[in-house]
Amino acid sequence: MPAMIELTDACKTFTMHLQGGIRLPVVRGVSLAVMPGECVVLSGPSGAGKSSVLKMIFGNYRCDEGRIFIHHQDATIDLARAEPRQILSVRRHTIGYVSQFLRAVPRVPAIDVVAEPLFVAGAAREEGRSRAGSLLRRLNIPERLWSLPPSTFSGGEQQRVNIARGFLPDLPILLLDEPTASLDAANRAVVVDLITEKKRAGVAMLAIVHDDEVREAIADRIVDVTAFAAAA
Partner 1 sequence: MAEQMMHDGAAPLMIAEGLGKTYGRLVACRDISFNLYSGEVLAIVGESGSGKSTLLQMLSAQLTPSAGRVSYRMRDGVTRDLASLGEAERRFLFRTDWGYVHQDPAMGLRMAVSAGANVGERLMAVGWNHYGRIRDTATSWLERVEIDTSRIDDAPRTYSGGMRQRLQIARNLVTEPRLVFMDEPTGGLDVSVQARLLDLMRSLVSELGLAAIVVTHDLAVARLLSHRIMVMKGGQVIEAGLTDQVLDDPHEGYTQLLVSSVLPG
Residues that bind partner 1 in the complex, under the rule CB under 8 A: 14-18, 55, 59-62, 73, 75, 77, 83-89, 105-108, 119-120
CB of 77 to partner 1, least distance (A): 6
CB of 72 to partner 1, least distance (A): 8
Q: What is the three-class DSSP state of 194?
A: helix
Taking the least distance from each CB to partner 1, the nearer of 49 and 59 is 59
Residue among 175, 3, 5, 167 at smallest CA distance from 79: 5
Taking the least distance from each CB to partner 1, the nearer of 103 and 144 is 103
- Beta strands 22-34 and 5-16 are antiparallel
| CA end-to-end distance (rounded Å), the chain | 38
CB of 93 to partner 1, least distance (A): 10
Residue among 155, 108, 154, 117 at smallest CA distance from 135: 117
CB of 194 to partner 1, least distance (A): 25
Taking the least distance from each CB to partner 1, the nearer of 108 and 201 is 108
Cβ-contact 95, 58 below 8 angstroms: yes
CB of 88 to partner 1, least distance (A): 6
Taking the least distance from each CB to partner 1, the nearer of 22 and 222 is 22
Q: What is the three-class DSSP state of 216?
A: helix
Taking the least distance from each CB to partner 1, the nearer of 32 and 63 is 63
What is the amino acid identity at position 188? R
Q: How many CA atoms lie within 13 A of 68 on its CB side?
A: 24
In eight-state DSSP terms, residue 229 is: B
CB of 17 to partner 1, least distance (A): 3
Taking the least distance from each CB to partner 1, the nearer of 85 and 200 is 85
Burial class, 37, CB count within 10 angstroms (exposed 0-12 / middle 13-18 / buried 19+) = middle
Please give the Cα distance from 220 to 190 (Å, whole number).
19
